[in-house]
Amino acid sequence: MDDTWSRLTAFTERFLTWRKRRRLRKKIKQQQKHVVVDWIEAFLWAAGVVLLINQYALQAYQIPSGSMRDTLQLGDRIFVNKVIYGPELLPGLIKLPGFDEPERGEVVIFENPSYISRGVAFEILQRVLYMVTLSFVDIDRDETGEPRAQFLIKRAVGVGGDRFRNREGELELLLAGESQWIAERSFAASLGLDYGIRRMISPDLYERYPDAARAAALGQLGLRPAAQLEEALRAVQRHGAVDPFEFDRYRTREIAKVNPHDERNAARHAYYELGWYVPEDRVFGVGDNRDNSLDARYFGPVREAKVLGRAMFKYWPLGRLGAIR
């Protein structure tokens, strides 16, 4: 018994001595380390933690345009929940499974379908710097120095099975299995989805669209429009902001009347009449600022696999701190 106790005591003493010497060596090594090296190590460690959080949990993102006014303003900095839909294993590569799918009315961030990558190495470097600095450093800029929109943030107004069409700047929705179109605003209100839709084009301007579009159609066909039609076209052009979908719907209709054998024009007009269909596993993302938004009305529904996360809350500027709805 005494022999066992002696061995245990000796082992404990050796262990405590080893630990004390280890701590002493570590302290001496730390004291000998150059302050700059120490600072760099601390920075890299902190940057690594921030990078992991941004990549797999919460990503910082800066709003690049006014397409989501008044929900989000140009320059707002927000955090995006990346866990919910599944984060990417590496920036731009393999997406991991998530806990949920994008739902109607949510503000989501997804890859810009029109974005042209500068290569995998550059893209990874850009994303790392962007995330480590909480979106304050972005090296991916165009020739004018403005950030290139690699990601877009929009509201998921539609899901698989929906069909949308444009009528005087307002979206109408045809649900799967239904035969009646319903105004998006009314449908959202019926679901308790309280999001504001901003318009820049006056409703009165739409009264000039039929005549203005007819003037444009006749000019395209090499015919001289009447003075009244030309004046309507000039009035629309002077306004600046034009609803391209409604204007083109009238224009293609007028061309079809004069030249019904133009199959390309007929197909385009049918596109405006039938609207945009949302296939399964896709979302229809549209900006709240309807007359100043590059969204699914231009490039079509986005695959859910390309949706990177849900917008959670604004953290900068401090005066706009708060949740995103």
**Domain residue extents for the chain:** 2-48, 58-201+278-323, 203-240+242-272
List per-residue pLDDT tens for the chain, 325 residues long.
556 666 666 666 676 677 777 776 666 665 565 666 667 777 677 777 777 777 788 888 889 889 999 899 998 999 999 999 988 887 667 788 888 999 999 999 998 888 888 887 887 788 778 877 777 888 888 888 888 888 899 999 999 999 999 999 999 999 998 999 999 999 999 999 988 899 999 888 999 999 999 999 999 999 888 899 999 999 888 887 889 999 999 999 999 999 999 999 999 999 999 999 999 999 999 999 999 999 999 999 999 989 999 999 999 898 999 999 8
For 199, the 3-state DSSP assignment is coil
Burial of residue 265 (number of CB atoms within 10 Å: 0-12, 13-18, 19+)? buried
Q: CA-CA distance, 246 to 206, in Å (whole number)?
A: 8
Q: CA-CA distance, 256 to 193, in Å (whole number)?
A: 39
Tokens of 143: 């020739």
pLDDT at 39: 76
Q: CA-CA distance, 53 to 35, in Å (whole number)?
A: 27
Q: Are 243 and 203 in contact (CB under 8 A)?
A: no
Q: CA-CA distance, 227 to 205, in Å (whole number)?
A: 18
The residue assigned the tokens 């990874």 is 124
Burial of residue 139 (number of CB atoms within 10 Å: 0-12, 13-18, 19+)? exposed
pLDDT at 186: 94
pLDDT at 96: 84
pLDDT at 289: 95
Helix H or strand E encompassing 185: helix 184-190
| Sequence-ordered strand ranges (E) for 54-97 | 58-62, 77-81
> What is the amino acid identity at position 36?
V
Enumerate the β-bridge partners of residue 109.
Answer: 153, 309
Q: CA-CA distance, 246 to 172, in Å (whole number)?
A: 13
Q: Are 278 and 163 in contact (CB under 8 A)?
A: yes
Burial of residue 230 (number of CB atoms within 10 Å: 0-12, 13-18, 19+)? middle
Assigned fold of 58-201+278-323: Umud Fragment, subunit A (2.10.109)
Q: Are 158 and 188 in contact (CB under 8 A)?
A: no
